[in-house]
Amino acid sequence: MSPTPMLIESLVIMLIGMTIVFSFLLLLVGILRVMSWAALRISPIAIEPEPMPSSALVAAGGADAAPLAVIAAAIARYRADHAGSRR
Amino acid sequence: MSPTPMLIESLVIMLIGMTIVFSFLLLLVGILRVMSWAALRISPIAIEPEPMPSSALVAAGGADAAPLAVIAAAIARYRADHAGSRR
Amino acid sequence: MSPTPMLIESLVIMLIGMTIVFSFLLLLVGILRVMSWAALRISPIAIEPEPMPSSALVAAGGADAAPLAVIAAAIARYRADHAGSRR
Amino acid sequence: MDPLLKLWESMGIANMDFGQALMMAVGCLLIYLAIAKKFEPLLLVPIGFGAFLSNIPVADIGGPNGMTGMIYAVGVETGIFPLLIFMGVGALTDFGALIARPSTLLLGAAAQFGIFATLIGAVLLNFVPGFDFTLQDAAAIAIIGGADGPTAIFLASRLAPDLLGAIAVAAYSYMALVPIIQPPIMRALTTQAERRVVMQQLRPVSQLERILFPLVVLLLCALLLPSAAPLIGMLTFGNLLRECGVVERLSRAAQNEIINIVTIMLGLAIGSKLSADTFLSLQTLGILVLGALAFSIGTAAGVIMGKMMHRVTGGKVNPLIGAAGVSAVPMSARVVNRVGLEADHHNFLLMHAMGPNVAGVIGSAVAAGILLALTGN
Amino acid sequence: MDPLLKLWESMGIANMDFGQALMMAVGCLLIYLAIAKKFEPLLLVPIGFGAFLSNIPVADIGGPNGMTGMIYAVGVETGIFPLLIFMGVGALTDFGALIARPSTLLLGAAAQFGIFATLIGAVLLNFVPGFDFTLQDAAAIAIIGGADGPTAIFLASRLAPDLLGAIAVAAYSYMALVPIIQPPIMRALTTQAERRVVMQQLRPVSQLERILFPLVVLLLCALLLPSAAPLIGMLTFGNLLRECGVVERLSRAAQNEIINIVTIMLGLAIGSKLSADTFLSLQTLGILVLGALAFSIGTAAGVIMGKMMHRVTGGKVNPLIGAAGVSAVPMSARVVNRVGLEADHHNFLLMHAMGPNVAGVIGSAVAAGILLALTGN
Amino acid sequence: MDPLLKLWESMGIANMDFGQALMMAVGCLLIYLAIAKKFEPLLLVPIGFGAFLSNIPVADIGGPNGMTGMIYAVGVETGIFPLLIFMGVGALTDFGALIARPSTLLLGAAAQFGIFATLIGAVLLNFVPGFDFTLQDAAAIAIIGGADGPTAIFLASRLAPDLLGAIAVAAYSYMALVPIIQPPIMRALTTQAERRVVMQQLRPVSQLERILFPLVVLLLCALLLPSAAPLIGMLTFGNLLRECGVVERLSRAAQNEIINIVTIMLGLAIGSKLSADTFLSLQTLGILVLGALAFSIGTAAGVIMGKMMHRVTGGKVNPLIGAAGVSAVPMSARVVNRVGLEADHHNFLLMHAMGPNVAGVIGSAVAAGILLALTGN
Ligand code: NA
Ligand code: NA
Ligand code: NA
């Protein structure tokens, strides 16, 4: 394909693409709200009621080894620290 | 195949099948008896002489997550509990 | 191939083979010396300065289960024992 | 506009047919049963999810170039996945109770009657208009009565791949329903006195016996029924890894890494066989009915054999343990224990039911071998 | 002498061309960056080593009969490896912050602008002599802006396998450079007051919500954008395993065994695509420039959307968290936290940045689906 | 009756030939040696079981559609399995002792004489009627002298797949017999005074050296001997994962999950090559004799080189450590230690023998590369 029509096509893709991404995620926002509303009606008391404050978690940092595991670990640790009274 | 001869064939399979299953397992009963007799002659004192009484194991229950692992775990726990004096 | 020329060929392979093996590993000896010299200039204080004496390690023995793991385990244990003061 | 049309044509809602929507709902139902009702979640969560994924329109994830379709081709069509799971089952299973009391093998044998009776049942269904099972189909359906997931999947993948999805779902569902299906049958067929029988303690079993056991079983299988050799072979291999005491690493790998990884893959792959045209049919209904029949008949046959052993041994055997012969390890052994406790609060039958329970695993692998030898091509 | 000649002809130095030597150096450079600079070592150590191995002369390890070449064919060409990694990502990711505040999905949406702007950029590069990207190439390059390794690899393997090596290297390198690329952009686009905004604590999330979340996301994807279904499907499958609470074994397998094993294999396989003729070209330079552009634009778009949400909510949203929308989990969330702490030493934004961060993962999977639907054949 | 006949024809006893029965017995013997005599059980239990399974009549488990046959095709024919094991070996091996004293590489070089002497031996056997080894066969047999399982399997699968079963069995058996084969040779070739030499403590090794080591070894291999690159490449890759300190997850996967899973599969697959027609032959007897020869000559060559280094260094080197050059990690290092302790109860040579021991692994991978380059096609 020659560059110019390709440029037009890519502009169209950008337009459509961003529209779809936003529509999709906006729709998801709505659906998640409905889902949460329904879920909390079905099982009103949260099973894992940890509040997630802006807190000490950060010290965990250290940009390294297992990026994804870090979140998991940090949250797990956080839950463990704060869950004692409940579980 | 039309249903009727198939029915006859399946009846035959049932007959043969149950016969084989029973023969196979009956033979296995005999062979296991011989095997145990021989094994106990070769190494007369059982290496893992835990008796398996009808006991406390059951509390372990709770029909869940890893069905097969449960047996393994239950037995392992049982052995661990009762093995202290020997190992 | 008939045995005799094959014998000659295998003798040649032996000659070349042992020459290459020795050349390769001799070269490696030299390169490793240079590498170590350079590495110790770059990071002069060894990060893991455990001396490796001819010591108690041996009791670990018992020619079994996981041959390769044994070295790993033995060395790990050794390091663990001797590293307390440093790490 | 061209790309917009292209996009619309690529959308799910523009392409979804009713069957796909229904199958996605079936997938969700399986996930629901697995999570909320604890229906064999290790298999039914991946199967349900696989069904959902494979029925997404356009994506064709279950097709020959889709992910679950490719996993199916590599792992299920070849039979490798169920065999690896069976190896894990062997590595997780303690056959001690069976070695200590080999006669319980007969209970495991009797319970296989459920399989062969269901075979007849499936063939009889052909007289009903709308059903047209081949003998292979009937054999694959019958194996549900073995109450043993990997065996059912292995046999179905060999004899009736199209029915694999429905058969796997039925097998695992009924295994989960064992605590509901079995007790009434057990109570109906036994007297209160029989259910109260306290059994003798099992003798200890030496390590040598434990090591020889898998080899002996495999040898017998090799001599008499080679068609069962892949199944029995992997079961006994796993068990040998477990018991030989010198390959702890491998035993752990079989019990954990391998069985877990393969379970995920197997579940997704089975999901790819849950398509509307094969699952949403009268056949599936027939399979579900026959599956319930199979479990019930197997349970009854086991209990009746238990009653016979009760008589022959002069009352030493509690007939309830016969119900554990259907396998469904360890669910049915727990059911036996529970029903036993109802009759006598101090009578723990769990260890005694373990013998017939693991005997049932061997029994249905043997039955699978017979069906394969007699109906396979 | 014959064997000596045969040996000489089989030697590396007798066969090495300049490109191979350079690519082996590139492999070493990647390993150096991974180890010394902690550039995403989990991927870049295997990729770098794979590049070294695959460029060894004579051995042809990256060829169709070589090890890394075969692993590529089995795992990357089929798309299975990136999908399995995505399953692991799902099993490792806690979507709680997103469920608690769904509006952060919009930040994840805005940041995908980096992808589509880069698409234009790649097409524009074609006006420069020496560049000749197809639309598929451009789309595969654009996805670097998604800042999400498995998604980039999956899309590149579908649309532009030849560029896969360069794209994977660029994607992981820029993900590692997020702490350097993002802060100046974030500071330039926000005021001190905006950066000081303290956000409200997140509400607790129930287990039911956590279980429904993956199913809801997948359902929406199935209905609207089936081309994203493999990616979204495996992500949500992993997450369901994690959250459903009844398949602990499988969840651990997805989070550990599977993701670790596949990461090793995937890295080696990608290395096989780092050959001199495709990597040592003007194209790669273009890809690297475009990648930096993509990350920068994505960050800016996220922050600007953050500013809009700041205004609309009357100052409740700290615009910095928009930068986390590019994903690069969890690096960019940490960067947000750090920049936030610069402005106010008591303002921890990490948990708040987690929402847009994981939203970015979904966002770029959606974007990948769109690119696949519109440019794939 | 038709089905009865069909069943009888499908029975093992109706189809078993004498060779199969004998090979099943061989399988049992291997399992016995592995369990009772601790003969490398991690490999010999699966190999023995695989041999048993693959020789079950009718089932054809070792055939192209059988389980072990398919595993062989996927994992051994492609060379992937031995390479993955070698990666695990690299991840499990500490090369520190070698880095601290590189001169011990010469001991590892000398011990490879066992390989090349055996090559001559195998060719000489062709003068005995009944033997007809090709040069490829001879090379594959010779590698037994490398005392290194994965290397032997890799080379045999390339050069002489038919002999693979016998070669693997011989290699692992003799590795298990090292404590019996080596001591008499070591005692015969050394004086009591030599055996009493106390060696100097090894210097500490920095992490940087540990990280550079695998890269340096691979670079040299790439330049000089690319045919050894797959083996050396995976060994050094595993070692880099271990030492680089930033990919702990991957290092653990290589040391545990991958090596364990692959060991099970590899063992079963090798078993599929233990069929009567190839194993129950004069050739196998020849291979066993040559294997013993290979180990003995390798040991002697190592010890003699040790004596030379003893002299050159003015008595600083204990010649016994030369015996560890055959590799057989870590068995031969332990044997050295034991023989050393016999001479002086306070002289622990284990750490000193580790250098030549791991040097032997590299040495035989190099030798394998040479054989592949000179005899492969
Ligand atoms: Na059963
Ligand atoms: Na993203
Ligand atoms: Na060696």
CB E326 within 8 A of CB E111: yes
pLDDT of C45: 52
| Residue F323 confidence (pLDDT) above 80 | yes
Beta-bridge partners for A52: E202
Chain E positions touching C20 (Cβ under 8 A) are: 7
Does A55 contact E337 at a Cβ distance shorter than 8 Å?
Answer: no
- Which residues contact residue D262 at a Cβ distance below 8 angstroms, ignoring those fewer than 6 apart? D75, D81, D84, D85, D88
pLDDT of E327: 85
Backbone angles phi, psi at F315, to 5 degrees: 90, 15
**Residues E337-364, mean pLDDT to the nearest whole number:** 93
Query: Does the complex come out with an ipTM higher than 0.90?
Result: no
CB E326 within 8 A of CB E108: no
| Residue pLDDT, tens place only, F73-92 | 999 999 999 999 999 999 99
Q: What is the mean pLDDT of chain F?
A: 92
Give the pLDDT band of residue A63 (cuts 50, 70, 90).
Answer: very low
Backbone angles phi, psi at B28, to 5 degrees: -65, -40
Nearest to D222 among F7, F24, F38 (CB): F24
Q: Give E99 to chain A, closest Cα distance, Å.
A: 7
pLDDT of E227: 92
CB F162 within 8 A of CB F156: no
pLDDT of F12: 79
Residue A5 touches chain E, beta carbons under 8 Å: no
Structure tokens at F270: 């090798």
Beta-bridge partners for E202: A52
Say which residue, D342 or A49, is predicted with more confidence: D342
Say which residue, C47 or F157, is predicted with more confidence: F157
Backbone angles phi, psi at C52, to 5 degrees: -115, 85
Residue D374 touches chain E, beta carbons under 8 Å: no
Q: Lowest mean pLDDT: which of B40-44, F82-86, F259-263?
A: B40-44
Nearest to D86 by CA among D219, D237, D243: D237
Q: What angle do CA E159, E68, E329 make, to 5 degrees?
A: 60
String of DSSP letters for D223-250: HH-GGGHHHHHHHHHHHHHHHHSS-HHH
**Would you give the distance in Å from CA F327 to the centre of its chain?**
8
Q: How many angstroms separate the alpha carbon of residue D45 from the centre of ligand 2?
A: 27
Q: Give E249 to chain B, closest Cα distance, Å.
A: 8
Chain B positions touching D124 (Cβ under 8 A) are: 3, 7
Nearest to E145 by CA among E40, E302, E333: E302
Taking the C-alpha atoms of residue E296 and residue E142, their distance in angstroms, rounded to an integer, is: 13
Nearest to E11 among F83, F224, F241 (CB): F224
Residues 9 through 38 of chain A touching chain D, CB cutoff 8 Å: 9, 12-13, 16, 20
Report which bound ligand comes closest to the CA of D295. Answer: 1
Q: Is B2 exposed, middle or buried (0-12, 13-18, 19+ CB in 10 A)?
A: exposed
* Residue D208 neighbours by CB distance under 10 Å: 20
Which parts of chain D register pLDDT below 50? none
Taking the C-alpha atoms of residue B65 and residue D38, their distance in angstroms, rounded to an integer, is: 8
pLDDT of D74: 94
**Residues E167-194, mean pLDDT to the nearest whole number:** 92
Q: How far from A81 is each of E133, E243, E353, CA to CA, in Å?
A: 52, 20, 21
Chain B positions touching F7 (Cβ under 8 A) are: 16, 20
- Which residues contact residue D241 at a Cβ distance below 8 angstroms, ignoring those fewer than 6 apart? D87, D90, D91, D247, D250, D251, D254, F45, F264
3-state SS string for A55-77: CHHHHHCCCCCCHHHHHHHHHHH
| Residue A83 confidence (pLDDT) above 50 | no
**Residues C35-58, mean pLDDT to the nearest whole number:** 60
Q: Do chains C and B touch (3 or more CB pairs under 8 A)?
A: no
pLDDT of C48: 47
- Which residues contact residue F346 at a Cβ distance below 8 angstroms, ignoring those fewer than 6 apart? none
- For E245, which DSSP code? S
Does E83 contact D67 at a Cβ distance shorter than 8 Å?
Answer: yes
Nearest to D214 by CA among D86, D82, D115: D86
Give the pLDDT band of residue A1 (cuts 50, 70, 90).
Answer: low
Q: Lowest mean pLDDT: which of C52-61, E108-117, F145-154, F336-345?
A: C52-61
CB D175 within 8 A of CB D33: no
Residue B83 touches chain D, beta carbons under 8 Å: no
* Residue F15 neighbours by CB distance under 10 Å: 15
Nearest to E125 by CA among B59, D160, F208, A3: A3
Q: How many angstroms separate the alpha carbon of residue F173 from the centre of ligand 3?
A: 15
Q: How many angstroms separate the alpha carbon of residue B62 from the centre of ligand 1?
A: 22
Q: How many angstroms separate the alpha carbon of residue F321 from the centre of ligand 3?
A: 14
| Residue pLDDT, tens place only, E303-313 | 999 999 999 99
Taking the C-alpha atoms of residue D135 and residue B12, their distance in angstroms, rounded to an integer, is: 12
Q: How far from D120 is each of D137, D139, E300, F23, CA to CA, in Å?
A: 12, 9, 70, 40
- For F203, which DSSP code? P
- Which residues contact residue F36 at a Cβ distance below 8 angstroms, ignoring those fewer than 6 apart? none
Question: How many residues would you count in chain C?
Answer: 87
**Would you give the distance in Å from CA F214 to the centre of its chain?**
20
Q: Lowest mean pLDDT: which of A61-70, E310-319, E327-336, F282-291?
A: A61-70
Question: How many residues would you count in chain D?
Answer: 377
pLDDT of F159: 95
Does F3 contact B9 at a Cβ distance shorter than 8 Å?
Answer: yes
* Residue D49 neighbours by CB distance under 10 Å: 29
CA torsion through residues F335, F339, F342, F345, sign:
negative
Amino acid symbol at F321: I
| Residue pLDDT, tens place only, E17-50 | 899 999 999 999 999 999 999 889 999 999 999 9
Taking the C-alpha atoms of residue E87 and residue E361, their distance in angstroms, rounded to an integer, is: 12
Buried b (16+ CB within 10 A) or exposed e, D287-316: bbebbbbbbbbbbbbbbbbbbbbbeeeeee
Say which residue, B40 or B59, is predicted with more confidence: B40
Taking the C-alpha atoms of residue F163 and residue F133, their distance in angstroms, rounded to an integer, is: 10
Taking the C-alpha atoms of residue F303 and residue F233, their distance in angstroms, rounded to an integer, is: 29
pLDDT of F209: 94
Structure tokens at D313: 């041994």
Nearest to E164 by CA among E178, E150, E177: E150
Residues 182 through 211 of chain D touching chain F, CB cutoff 8 Å: 211
| Residue pLDDT, tens place only, C10-27 | 999 999 999 999 999 999
Amino acid symbol at F196: R
Taking the C-alpha atoms of residue E367 and residue E118, their distance in angstroms, rounded to an integer, is: 12
| Residue pLDDT, tens place only, E56-68 | 998 999 999 999 9
CA torsion through residues E128, E132, E135, E140, sign:
negative
| Residue pLDDT, tens place only, C72-81 | 444 444 444 4
Q: How many angstroms separate the alpha carbon of residue E148 from the centre of ligand 2?
A: 5
Q: Cα Rg for chain C, rounded, in angstroms? A: 22
Residue F59 touches chain D, beta carbons under 8 Å: yes
pLDDT of C83: 40
Q: Do chains C and A touch (3 or more CB pairs under 8 A)?
A: no
Which residue of chain D has the CA closest to C63? D246
| E330 cis-preceded (ω within 30 degrees of 0) | yes
pTM for this structure?
0.90
